[in-house]
Amino acid sequence: MMGKQVLFLINGPNLNLLGTREPNTYGSDTLDDVVQLVKNTAEGFKIVHHQSNHEGDLVDYIQSAGKEADGVILNPAAYTHTSVAIRDAISAISVPVIEVHISNVHRRESFRHHSYISPVSSGQIVGFGVDGYRLATLGLIEKIRKGEEK
Ligand code: DQA
């Protein structure tokens, strides 16, 4: 069956500041560069991008993705470590969600080692810098082609 050929790219708090925010940790590429990278990688798919600094907005975008997309590339940023609401939104949809972290959260502060999101995500890419979004896109498309739901 032909899918919708749509992927949602969802970025959480402070990722609007990419490029100037802690460049030693997150690099110098901007959020626009990230969107372009995902668009260039996701051949044959339309990319719908949302960024918000507000938890409830992210819940709304994930719910919409469940209706409008074949899969989601999600960097929940700091909400990774705090948000049951975002986790429950992912549990409520049936399309695959790939969790991305630009930095290697496992070699940073211990509060970044726990993710509420990982147990409900289909895969996780951590520590590859902004290139992680490209890797996540390739992996997500492969899962969709194989017909994996979650
Ligand atoms: C992040 C890691 C989080 O711990 C942090 O709060 C972020 C970005 C990353 O992409 O490495 O804002 O998700």
Mean pLDDT of the residues in the chain? 96
Q: What is the per-residue pLDDT across 119-136, written as a single tens digit (0 to 9) for each?
A: 999 999 999 999 999 999
Does 1 score more than 60 pLDDT? no
Residue span of the structural domain in which 45 resides: 6-145
Does 19 score more than 70 pLDDT? yes
Q: What residues pair up with 74 in beta bridges, in sequence order?
A: 10, 99
Measuring CA to CA, which residue among 87, 110, 98, 109 is closest to residue 134? Answer: 98
Segment 63-81 shows an average pLDDT of 98
In a domain, 100, yes or no: yes
130: DSSP letter: T
Does 85 score more than 70 pLDDT? yes
In a domain, 16, yes or no: yes
Does 2 score more than 80 pLDDT? no
Q: Are 78 and 21 in contact (CB under 8 A)?
A: no
Segment 84-93 shows an average pLDDT of 98
121: CATH: 3.40.50.9100
In a domain, 108, yes or no: yes
53: DSSP letter: S
Distances 89 to 55, 57, 61 between C-alpha atoms, Å: 11, 11, 9
Distance in Å, CA 80 to ligand 1 centroid:
8
In a domain, 150, yes or no: no
Give CA–CA dist 110/115, Å, rounded: 11
Q: Are 31 and 41 in contact (CB under 8 A)?
A: no
How many CA atoms lie less than 13 Å away from 69 in the CB half-sphere? 26
Pocket of ligand 1 (CB under 6 A): 14, 75, 77-78, 80, 101-103, 105, 112
How many CA atoms lie less than 13 Å away from 134 in the CB half-sphere? 9
pLDDT band at residue 144, thresholds of 50, 70 and 90? Answer: very high
Does 4 score more than 90 pLDDT? yes
State the catalytic residue, choosing from 61, 79, 101, 116.
101
Q: 81 catalytic, yes or no?
A: no
In a domain, 38, yes or no: yes
Distance in Å, CA 117 to ligand 1 centroid:
13
Q: What is the per-residue pLDDT across 28-63, written as a single tens digit (0 to 9) for each?
A: 999 999 999 999 999 999 999 999 999 999 999 999
| pLDDT at residue 123, rounded to an integer | 98
As for how many domains the chain has, the answer is 1
What are 115's two structure tokens? Answer: 């993710």
In a domain, 84, yes or no: yes
- Pocket mutation for ligand 1, best pick of 34, 81, 99, 103 (most atoms within 8 Å of C-beta): 103
Give CA–CA dist 148/126, Å, rounded: 21
In a domain, 1, yes or no: no
| pLDDT at residue 150, rounded to an integer | 72
| pLDDT at residue 148, rounded to an integer | 77
Q: In what order do the strands lie in the sheet with 123-126?
A: 46-51, 6-11, 71-75, 97-101, 123-126
pTM tops 0.95: yes
Give the angle 135-15-89 at the CA atoms, nearest 5°. Answer: 75
